[in-house]
Structure formats: structure tokens, C-alpha cells
A and B are shown apart, each in its own frame.
Chain A
Amino acid sequence: MSRQRLTVVLSQSQGKNPTRRALEESIVAALIMEPGLDVSIVPYLYDLDKEHTGRLFLESIQGDMVVLAWMFPRAAFWLLDRDGIKGHYGENKITAPPEVDEDEDGGEPEPPKGIGAVDVPDRHIYCLDLRDHNNYETYVEEVRRIAAECRERRETQLKSWVQGNPTVVQLGRYLREEEPAKPQPAFPSEQLLKQPDRRWYPVIDYSRCTNCMECLDFCLFGVYGVDKLDRLLVENQDNCKRGCPACSRVCPEHAIMFPDYKTPAIAGAPVGNISGLKIDLSKLFGGGDALAIAAQERDRELVADGRGAVGMLVGIPKRQVDKPPEPKDDLDKLMDALDDLEI
């Protein structure tokens, strides 16, 4: 049963770093020997365009999957989501958990309030960061653990359907599993591994994105748009300017990632906990503030395109977060009264 197997995809690093290649090869060699796994290799995930065989292969995978890549798990997960390869976020156990700092009196980080992903199928996608460890056994162990976790999840689900009253949808899904698996299209490995050109574009973490559209106002290169549901969308990925992370600095929720950027906070490091994320203290130590840096970066790209610099005049959010609350006026009271009616 193909759906009972766990698909493991290793995404190679860019370039030919021998240390990285060696780690990739050791992991794949060990995983191929494991029962119940389908193991494949594709080039660097971020660079795959929609025509690339590696991308078509990823799209064809059904059921749970593990993706090992040279980037933060959050970046890899939302990158796949953008490519239509969706699932629930599988928590791995080998990325160092955010430390808890006892003497910080910051309390619990607020839960993310993003708009979330849509059309998420009933499967889990686990992303492992190959930069976390340099010994292949750690990854092999973790894949084994994930395989067991997925098996257990399926069994629990199955039991609950057998014992309870399955809904028609659940039943349908269960029955469909009994059908013979559709033959997988063939993906010749030389096409699968064809080295793609380098790309550069933002990846949105929809668990954090609140659809505030500040990035859409800020970017003057037409990268952002909205989908049919009026959700923010990275519409024209390849309009993005290589190396420019400006919109990421403008985002109030740290929802915009550039997986290849040097600063971890922008490349998709875990957010929300002070210790999990290395904070950038540059501003404190004399650097400009995030919005000013973003405007400078944007100006550089505008000028390179033969357009005029706009500085802080266009698309800079006028935030009112720190504005002290004013006494409520009659309109506010009316709005509150409407809220109370809970219509």
C-alpha cells in the first residue's frame, strides 16, 4: 500500500560543498535500507520552478512525508505550501527546542494569530534542517521515529472509525485506501536531479500572516497580489529582487521569509520565543531601524531598475500600536454596542 509508506525526500544543497554532499549521501544510503520508506533526492527546494521534475514529483506524493533540506523547517514547510504541497506541520524532535529562560519575566509567547493555510489535506509534512547536526545517524533515527509516529496516528484514526460512527467522508477516505494505488508517474533520476537556476523570492508563513497587506503596499516590484479568497499571495515570485529582504523587515508579524538570507530571523528561524530566535540587536547598537533599512534596500533596487528612489514616502505603514488609547467617543460606543449584540 503506497499510502501506508512514508515518503522521505532529501533536498540537496546548492553548490557542491563536499561536507554537505557527504552528509546527504550517508543519510540516503542509510534510509534506503529501512523498510517502509520511499526515499528520493531532489535539488535545492527553493530553486525548483513549476516545470521542474523534482517539483512534479513532490506534487505527486500522497500521504505523510519527511523533507530534509538545508533551511529552517518553517521555511521549507511554507515553501512547499506555496507550491501546493500541503499538509499539517509535523513537529520534529531534533531541531533544538527554544530554551526557556527562567529569569526573563516575559511570560508565554502569544500564540500566532495568522490566517492559516487553506485546503490542507489529512497528512503531515515533517521538515528537518540538515544544518542542525553533522552526523547522519541523528537524521536516520528521527525519520524512524516519525515513521512510527505516522503509523500510530493512522492506526488510532482507523480504530476510532471502526468503533465510532464514521462520517461519510471518513468512510470514503478509508475505502479509497483499499483501492489499488494509482501507478506513480515515472520520474527518471537524471531529470529529477537536473540542477535548477537559482531563484529568490519571499515565502509566507500563513500561521503568522494576518493579511494586513503591508508587504503588498510596500513592494513596488509587483511581487505580491491576492488570491480568489482575497488572501495575500506571492503572485509574481520571479519579479523579486535577488538579495533584497526589505518586505520581510516591514512585516509586523515576521511572516515573510527568505530562506537564503543570512540573518536567521529573516531566513525562517523559529519565532515567538526570545531564546529560540537570535534577536537582531543592530538597532540598539547604532544601526538604523527596520523600516529605514527596508526603504534603503528598496531604493537600491529601484535605482538599479532605472526608477527613482522613493525613500520612506511610499508604502511605509503608519502604525498606531503604541498610540495611547483615547477616550471613547460616541461612534466607539455605538461600535461596542454592536459588538455586544453578537450578530
Chain B
Amino acid sequence: MADDRTFLMGKFPAVLPGGLRYARNHMWCRLEGGRGRFGFTSYAIRLMQDVYFLDWQVNTGDRIDLLQQIGHIETSKAVSDLFAPLAGTIVAFNAELLKDPSGINVDGYGTGWLFDLECAGETLWSVEEYEQFLADNWEKTQRLIKGKINTEE
């Protein structure tokens, strides 16, 4: 199993566990059989900070397409629509989070998981690939954070 990696966001170390796979929308995936459990990476959580509200627009059993909009999140720092990391069928949502979404902040790689998806996981990245993706986009991401969302190419 690959080692854990740490990506430095300014001074903040975002830990990326080596045993997980990653999607480009900053979700991690724990693959078992034909099923993946997904959650936010510590990188995503650091950008959003305290989660106030989480809402899903699809139901258990629904078939979703890659990058289909599936929900919405509001945090102390950000709002965002949420999109499917892969095509597949939703098996379950983490019901605890719908009662109290701050579980995402408490244990993002564990009890703060988001949903289980029946999917093929071949296209997901390894931890090294995800770390490289973060490094390549860090400049651009910082610009986005500083409110210059529309000035990017």
C-alpha cells in the first residue's frame, strides 16, 4: 500500500491517505468489490471549513452520470454544488451527516463519509496522481479563493 502523503496548502498540511483512490472533484474513494465509499479529502474540507448544510438532489437507488449534479453544500467559507465523481448507482447516503453535517469536519476520512456508489473505479487516481493534480492547480485555486473566479482562462 502506498504511503500517506501531505500536500501543503500554504501553512496547512492536507493529509492524503495512501490506501485510498481519488477523484478530480476532491473526493476520496475506498473501493471494495464493485462498490466505492466516497468522502471529501482534507484538501476540500480545508477550503470549505465548517460545514453548515448538506443536501442531496438524488435518491438511493438512482443511477447517476459522471459530473451530474447530485447535491449542494454550504459551509462557513463556501457554497458549492456537488457533482458525481463517477457514473454509477447510489447505494446509500451517510444518514448521520443529514442530521449533523459537521461530521465531515470531525472525521472526513472516516465517519464523515458522504455516500456509497456502485461503480467501476478504474479511472480513479492514486494518491501520487492526486497529489500531483493538487500541486499543478494550487496557483489557480488560490486565485479562485481570492475572489477572482471569473478572470481565469
Contacts and interface: CB of A to CB of B under 8 A. Distances in A.
A284 B79 CA distance: 11
B57 interface: no
Interface string B118-153: 000000000000000000000001101111111111
Interface in A305-324: 319, 321-322
Interface string B98-119: 0000000000000000000000
Interface stretch (A80-88, A221-229, A230-238, A286-294): A286-294
A285 B27 CA distance: 9
B149 A290 contact: yes
Interface stretch (B14-22, B80-88, B89-97): B80-88
Given A279-B149, A283-B149, A319-B151, A103 B77 contact: no
Contacts, number: 94
B47 to A, nearest CB: 6
Contact of A278 (B11, B12, B77, B84): B77
B74 to A, nearest CB: 7
Interface residues of B, number: 34
A252 B147 contact: no
Contact of A279 (B11, B44, B78, B81): B78
Most buried by B among A105, A250, A286: A286
B152 A106 contact: no
B144 A263 contact: no
Contact of B79 (A104, A263, A286): A263
B58 interface: no
Nearest to B10: A105
Contact of B150 (A103, A252, A286): A252
Give chain A's interface secondary structure class. loop
Given A104-B10, A279-B78, A274 B150 contact: no
B146 A274 contact: yes
Nearest to A272: B147
A251 interface: yes
Nearest to A262: B79
Given A105-B10, A286-B85, A281 B150 contact: no
A264 interface: yes
Contacts of A282: 79-81, 83
Given A103-B12, A278-B79, A280-B80, A286 B25 contact: yes
B152 A274 contact: no
Contact of A285 (B12, B26, B149, B152): B26
Contacts of A151: none
B80 A103 contact: no
Interface of A: 103-106, 109, 249-252, 254, 263-265, 271-275, 277-287, 289-291, 319, 321-322
Interface of B: 10-12, 24-26, 44, 47-48, 67, 69, 74-75, 77-85, 141-142, 144-153
Across the A-B interface, the 5 shortest Cβ-Cβ residue pairs:
A286-B83, A286-B25, A281-B80, A282-B81, A281-B78
